[in-house]
Amino acid sequence: MLPWEAILFDLDGTLVDTAPDLVGAVQDLARARGLLIPEFSRLRPWASHGAPGLLGAAFGVMPKDPQYPVLRASFLQIYQQRGHRQSRLFPGMEELLGHLDREHIPWGIVTNKSVALSQELLAQLALPYPPAVLVGGDSTAAAKPSPIPVQAALELLNVKAQHCPLLGDDRRDMIAAQGAGCPAWAALWGYWQAEDPPESWEAQRLFHRPEELLSVLRSPPMS
């Protein structure tokens, strides 16, 4: 049996490649409003930042701006209507989840995405190995980078923080993990920006591919 008690994953940009649908929704929104359609490659790095990051990068509209609430509502409606049809597990992730399942190691999701949207996405993916817990951005009093949602997941799993790493593709994930006492692991295949590279996040480990986690998960965690 693997020595780790459990593992937590961020959702967008770590477990699932949701950028095609997230960026696609922004492009559809621009098209519907007669605006310049932003390029996919420019918006992909912002996919982990949800509506605030994507709408800011695409249109320069920030949450403090008067037009933001209406624009956000339109974006979320279009995103939901797309039905997550282009979102997929990252290559190698299904094999990793299968390995955890065979070793009876529970895994969970801690995301800033709402629970409803997260559940819709997971239903579309029809994972053969479902998560043991799902903590969304609206599950607790605060979202990442607060450690509160990570702590909630640890409580639901009934595992020790130091024996349950959190894998994520954003600095917020590292801050949340460290605040909860979990090992902070960075997924380099995710949606980070060039001006904020993973090497600067103070993560305990950096992974280029999901397969690289297997050898580490076979090693005892440091107590």
Contact (Cβ atoms closer than 8 angstroms) between residue 87 and residue 16: yes
Q: Which residues partner with 109 through β-bridges?
A: 9, 134
- Give me the amino acid identity at 219: S
Give CA–CA dist 109/11, Å, rounded: 6
7-17+87-217 maps to CATH 1.10.230.10: no
Separation CA 138–CA 149 (nearest Å): 9
Question: Per the confidence metrics, is the pTM higher than 0.75?
Answer: yes
pLDDT values of the chain reduced to their tens digit, one per residue, 223 residues: 457 999 999 999 999 999 999 999 999 999 999 999 999 999 999 999 999 999 999 999 999 999 999 999 999 999 999 999 999 999 999 999 999 999 999 999 999 999 999 999 999 999 999 999 999 999 999 999 999 999 999 999 999 999 999 999 999 999 999 999 999 999 999 999 989 999 999 999 999 999 999 888 877 666 5
Task: Indicate the domain borders of the chain.
Answer: 7-17+87-217, 19-81
Question: In the prediction, which pLDDT does 54 show?
Answer: 97
Residues 6+ apart with CB under 8 A from 81: none
Q: How wide is the angle at C-alpha 142 spanned by C-alphas 100 and 137, nearest 5°?
A: 50
Q: Which pLDDT score is estimated for 1?
A: 45
Q: What is the pLDDT of residue 22?
A: 98
10 part of the active site:
yes
Per-residue pLDDT, 2: 53
